Amino acid sequence: MNILTLLDMAVSGFGERTAFGSIGSGLTYAELLDRASRAGSSFTGAGSERVSFLDVSSPALPVALFGAAYAGQPFVPLNYRLADNDLVALAERTTPASIVTGADQAPRLAAVPGLTLFDRDQFLANTASGDGLEPMSWSMDPEDIAVLLYTSGTTGAPKAAVLRHKNLVGYILGSVEFMGAGEDEATLVSVPPYHIAGLAAILSSVYAGRRIVQLPNFDADTWIDLVATEGVTHAMVVPTMLARIVERMAARSIELPSLRALSYGGGRMPLPVIDHALNLFPETRFVNAYGLTETSSTISLLGPDDHRQAHTSHDPAIKRRLTSVGQPLPTLEVSIRDDEGAEVATGTPGEVWVRGEQVAGEYLQQGSKLTPDGWFPTNDGGELDADGYLYVTGRLDDVIVRGGENISPGEIEDVLLEHPGVRDVAVIGVPNDQWGETIGAVIVGSANEDELKAFVAERLRSSRSPDTVIYRDELPYNDTGKLLRRVLRAELDES
């Protein structure tokens, strides 16, 4: 069991289909496997123990990913948006390593010993021809490490999440039908290489036989143009991207009829944005996917039929499903637990626990975080309703404890976003001597403070109403759409 098996099967089944890029000029599955064997040979020759990648998306990404598997070395993508000192610290933890990088990034690594640099353009030229490793010489040990992904590290140094071949292959075999994509299908990938969704998209699409079109630096207009010119049928975006796409689509008043399926995940989707998107793409099948790096991507999804039903329903219980992450994949188990690790009753909030083959739940140096019976506590708060729909409220670290009462920021944010005078919002705990914490709402928009407090009190209850409302021009997000609450907290502490 090795992620290379997925590519090898693709070559057997449809080797001459285009795997990456435009039809005609792109890379076929057969060419990708050949290039991976040559890349594997280079990595082996470099004497490295890991294969790192510091670059935007390009065909070099799948060549390096599968080349690393060929060489039996973990693939370790790095975030090129990190500050120099943070980047160097991670690169040092990754050595001895081969690293594929662009000419613009290479100078940033000059001071790091133990790195063998492969210039991206040279790497692509060199893997186009020549001798590679023997076919099928790769290890089939499912316990080997396929990928190391550094977490964003909200508290302390980033952790290196370990994903073994058995986790990633288990995820693909359990969720993707081999050759399930028609020859005309293409997916647009705009998440970066260091995001689990970016890597999972490569593996899923290779196994399904769906061509990948890469968008290196997301921009809504380029995204829209690529969908049109490349006949893109599928795409995955994070909520901040969809919000921008929806804005630009409306401004340019164009339609994208080729787009059959649009999945989103990686953060909370504001209800007004998804409602608007469902109107703009009336024929598109929407999927909301929830997952973590530590679970090899998606563990729960809200499918197309649920989206349309919830979108048009007047029943509040059905309508609410648009704020859920749907139902857990049939190949794994999800359980909601209390502080003691005991399962709670249906409809009761707790911590989301997950168990299944794709669940790695492991970090380098720290080891496995699974319980003895294989459960991974995600540190996400959530609840399951009577129909098995999962509602995720956010990281448990973000829960506000106000006078002994636990309050999920997500619940209040969802309500505030329904107010027409609120474009974006973050709810965070504000340290307070009397209450421990009070509720602070950081608002992008023009809604009046008293009106907002009353709006929340009416829809939830008065104890959920923000104690403080602060206005900002925009909220801080990272490039993969995660709201940076710690940045907001620090800003508020300073002021």
Partner 1 sequence: MELRPGLKLSSAVCSTEVIVVAGSGDVDLTCGGVPMLAPGAEAGEANAAEGLTEGTMLGKRYCDEDGTVEVLCTKPGDGSVGVGQTAFGLKEAKPLPASD
Q: 76 or 301: whose CB is closer to partner 1?
A: 301
**Is-contact 10 181, C-beta < 8 A?**
no
**Which residue of 304, 374, 436, 476 would you call a contact of partner 1, by CB under 8 A?**
304
Closest approach of Cβ 378 to partner 1, in Å?
17
Quick one: CA dihedral 214, 14, 287, 193, positive or negative? negative
* Residue 293 touches partner 1, criterion: CB under 8 A: no
Q: How far apart are CA 212 and CA 21, in angstroms?
A: 6
Name which of 418, 428, 437, 433 is nearest 469 in CA terms. Answer: 428
Amino acid residing at 61: L
SS3 helix, strand, coil % of the chain, rounded to 5? 35, 25, 40
Chain positions 231 to 250 lying near partner 1, rule: CB under 8 A, are 234, 236
Closest approach of Cβ 196 to partner 1, in Å?
8
Chain positions 191 to 230 lying near partner 1, rule: CB under 8 A, are 197, 200-201, 204, 208, 210
Closest approach of Cβ 115 to partner 1, in Å?
30
* Residue 415 touches partner 1, criterion: CB under 8 A: no
**Is-contact 332 173, C-beta < 8 A?**
no
The SS3 call for residue 158 is coil
Chain positions 120 to 149 lying near partner 1, rule: CB under 8 A, are 140-142
Closest approach of Cβ 238 to partner 1, in Å?
11
* Residue 475 touches partner 1, criterion: CB under 8 A: no
Q: 172 or 246: whose CB is closer to partner 1?
A: 172
Binding residues for partner 1, total number by CB under 8 A: 42
Q: 138 or 363: whose CB is closer to partner 1?
A: 138
Angle 449-459/409-417 helices, nearest 10 degrees?
110
* Residue 180 touches partner 1, criterion: CB under 8 A: yes
**Which residue of 179, 228, 280, 460 would you call a contact of partner 1, by CB under 8 A?**
179
> Residues near 349 by Cβ (< 8 Å), separated by ≥ 6?
336, 381, 382, 383, 393, 408
Name which of 410, 426, 421, 473 is nearest 446 in CA terms. Answer: 421
Q: 141 or 343: whose CB is closer to partner 1?
A: 141
Quick one: CA dihedral 140, 142, 145, 148, positive or negative? positive
**Which residue of 90, 289, 417, 441 would you call a contact of partner 1, by CB under 8 A?**
289
Strands 261-264 and 285-292 come out as: parallel
* Residue 265 touches partner 1, criterion: CB under 8 A: yes
* Residue 30 touches partner 1, criterion: CB under 8 A: no
In whole angstroms, how far apart are CA 495 and each of 104, 433, 470, 471, 474?
37, 17, 11, 13, 17
**Which residue of 215, 273, 322, 329 would you call a contact of partner 1, by CB under 8 A?**
329
* Residue 297 touches partner 1, criterion: CB under 8 A: yes
**Is-contact 198 58, C-beta < 8 A?**
no
Closest approach of Cβ 233 to partner 1, in Å?
10
* Residue 157 touches partner 1, criterion: CB under 8 A: no
In whole angstroms, how far apart are CA 332 and each of 326, 335, 357, 359, 493?
14, 10, 7, 9, 41
**Which residue of 79, 263, 284, 378 would you call a contact of partner 1, by CB under 8 A?**
263
For partner 1, the binding residues (CB under 8 A) are 1-2, 5, 8-9, 12-13, 140-142, 165-166, 173-180, 187, 197, 200-201, 204, 208, 210, 234, 236, 261, 263, 265, 285, 287, 289, 297-298, 301, 303-304, 329-330
